Structure 1
Amino acid sequence: MITTFTALETLLGGSLIGIAAVALMSLHGRIAGMTGILTGLLMPNGNWDWRLAFLAGAIAAAALFFWLSGVDVALQADLPAWAIGMGGLLVGIGVTFGGGCTSGHGV
């Protein structure tokens, strides 16, 4: 698989992530960590509405980009599905014990 660096798309994507993180912090006082947001949906404690909206927006924005741009993303993994699933489970456990993922804390 060959990837090419595209400065404009990278700048736009990073800017949108930063704007979303700042907006979530300023409007709701919450960190935009995807793992924490997803965990709050899976184990609801009463504040699921903004979590659902944030995740739906992240998914819809990516889908809209691919639909409008016509870009085709070929996904290829040289690992069996069980290994990928186990990796995701281990990352989830690590994030839980580590106090959150770096997506929200890093931004």
Structure 2
Amino acid sequence: MTLSPHFTPWTALLGGALIGLSAGLFIFLNGRIAGISGLLGSLLARQGDGRGEKLLFIVGLLVSPWIWSLVATLPESRFQAGGVALVLAGLLVGLGTRYGAGCTSGHGICGLSRLSVRSLVAVCCFMGSGFAGVYAIRHLLGA
């Protein structure tokens, strides 16, 4: 594995700080965890309160790369997997968020920062699954 020559730790640090700030502000101002799968799921289910701020949070996630592109060049995105593999991976992630009652943002960012044991177990499970999946695909299947 090699790092991109365009990688700078400062942009990664700034991005992480902005994620933490937005998650912290969301819980402070709304009293809700900023778990993206939960926010999106409640918007698609058309139920519950706080739909406006949930929608704005999701729109902010979608618009932020465009805003960043006004200031700096976005990094090139390359996928080594085919379309079928990407769709299958997306479906498996969606299934995992339903069974795990949350996603990486809900458990990994918000849950771990609150020292939640349940979130620690969830993060260990999906990180372990990711490691095992990459190992199986690259080393056992040779893809």
Where does 1:20-59 land on structure 2 (aligned, <5 Å)? 20-47=22-49, 48-59=51-62
Q: Which moved more, 1:4-13 or 1:47-56?
A: 4-13
Does residue 1:101 correspond to 2:103, yes or no? Answer: yes
Amino acid at match of 1:102: T
Report deviation, 1:41.
Answer: 1.5
Number of residue pairs matched? 106
User: In the TM superposition, what whole-angstrom CA distance separates every residue of 1:53-97 from its partner, at most 9, and x where no partner exists?
Assistant: 00111222221102321x143222222212201110111011101
* C-alpha RMSD of matched pairs (Å): 1.8
Q: Note the residue ranges of structure 1 that are not aligned, 5 or more in a row.
A: none
**Structure 2 CA distance for aligned equivalents of residues 33 and 100 of structure 1:** 7
Give the letter for the 1:52 counterpart: L
Q: How many percent identity over aligned positions?
A: 37
TM (norm. structure 1) is 0.86
Q: Which runs of 5+ in 2 are unaligned?
A: 110-143
- Whether the aligned pair in 1 keeps the contact of 2:65 and 2:74 (CA below 8 Å) is no
Could you say if the C-alpha distance between residues 45 and 75 of structure 1 is closer, same or farther in structure 2, counting changes exceeding 3 Å? Answer: same
Find the counterpart in structure 1 of residue 119 from structure 2.
none
